[in-house]
Amino acid sequence: MTAPERTRDVIDIAGKFSHITDLWSPRIVAAFNDNHVKLARIEGEFVWHRHDDTDELFIVHSGHLRIEMKDRTVALGPGSLFVVPRGAPHRPVADGPVELILIEPRGTRNTGDVIDARTVDDECWI
């Protein structure tokens, strides 16, 4: 099935999360306009980074997430969301398992302006 055909179906988010085993490796589940909807399992600290050309939308499906920024820390729980403004340095931190939904422009690098071991260059659909 091609990627656009997948976006015509109802997406079982919990079911999709059950197929994700790698931490910090977002998987695309839908596309609309020029955006991707991604799911990720995360735990621990991520790298400080920023996205100069786009805001980044975080929605917590399960667990508790902190987004550390230079001037404050934002705490998110299940069902809450936060938009990190473009250009703002930030670092997601999950003290326990978190299931996360991300909505961002197609081709957005997960580590933004940083390239390291957690950079995902080959975005995969599930």
pLDDT, tens digit, for every residue of 54-107? 999 999 999 999 999 999 999 999 999 999 999 999 999 999 999 999 999 998
Residue in 110, 112, 109 with CA at minimum distance from that of residue 100: 110
Domain spanning 3-107 has what CATH number?
A: 2.60.120.10
Contact predicate 29/102, CB 8 Å = no
Give the pLDDT score at 9.
83
Strands 90-105 and 56-62: antiparallel
Residue 112: pLDDT band (50, 70, 90) is low
Full-prediction pTM beyond 0.85?
Answer: yes
The residues facing 4 across adjacent strands are none
How many Å apart are CA 36 and CA 16, to the nearest integer?
Answer: 15
Give the pLDDT score at 93.
98
Is residue 16 helix, strand or coil? Answer: helix
pLDDT, tens digit, for every residue of 27-54? 999 999 999 999 999 999 999 999 999 9
Give the pLDDT score at 7.
56
Does residue 117 or residue 3 have the better pLDDT? 117
How many Å apart are CA 19 and CA 26, to the nearest integer?
Answer: 12
Domains of the chain, residue spans: 3-107
